């Protein structure tokens, strides 16, 4: 089991540098694109394209969430991760090299939706990554 997306497994983190595209803008991390997607205001998204992952996470907390956010946020993340781990890319190869290990986004910041904190959490990020890993193998 990989229970932390740090060290040699940092590439699994949404803070890891990689270019992803969303609605006409390029972002340097999946975190920045995900945070930008919280709003339908394309101009409000623009600054996120130049932010680091931590800057974007902080700025995302101040956005007025789009009405459908809770319904679409997992699909938004899945779409961004599919770009990051595009079949045949270096990151997809690294993801495949995790073999069949369970991927758990263990954290200390109480994120029990995307990860697991103190043994509690839904681990949606880990589940999406394992799904992409499986899909890339087909």
CATH T-level topology, domain 7-137: Tetracycline Repressor; domain 2 (1.10.357)
User: pLDDT tens digits for 4-25?
Assistant: 999 999 999 999 999 999 999 9
Average pLDDT score over residue span 109-120:
96
pTM of the model: 0.95
What is the residue extent of each domain of the chain? 7-137
Provide the percentage of residues in the chain whose pLDDT is more than 70.
100
Q: What does the H/E/C string look like for 36-88?
A: HCCCCCHHHHHHHHHCCHHHHHHHHCCCCCCCCHHHHHHHHHHHHHHHHCCCC
pLDDT confidence band for 138 (50 / 70 / 90): confident
């Amino acid at each position: 089991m990989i229970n932390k997306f740090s060290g040699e497994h940092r590439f699994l983190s949404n803070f890891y540098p990689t270019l992803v595209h969303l609605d006409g803008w390029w972002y340097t991390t999946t975190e920045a694109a995900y945070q930008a997607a919280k709003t339908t205001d394309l101009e409000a998204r623009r600054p996120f394209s130049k932010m680091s992952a931590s800057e974007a996470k902080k700025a995302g907390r101040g956005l007025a969430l789009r009405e459908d956010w809770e319904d679409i946020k997992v699909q938004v993340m899945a779409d961004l991760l599919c770009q990051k781990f595009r079949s045949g890319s270096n990151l997809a190869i690294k993801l495949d090299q995790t073999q069949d290990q369970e991927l758990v986004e263990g954290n200390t910041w109480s994120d029990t939706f995307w990860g697991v904190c103190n043994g509690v959490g839904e681990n949606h990020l880990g589940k999406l990554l394992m799904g992409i890993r499986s899909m890339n193998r087909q």
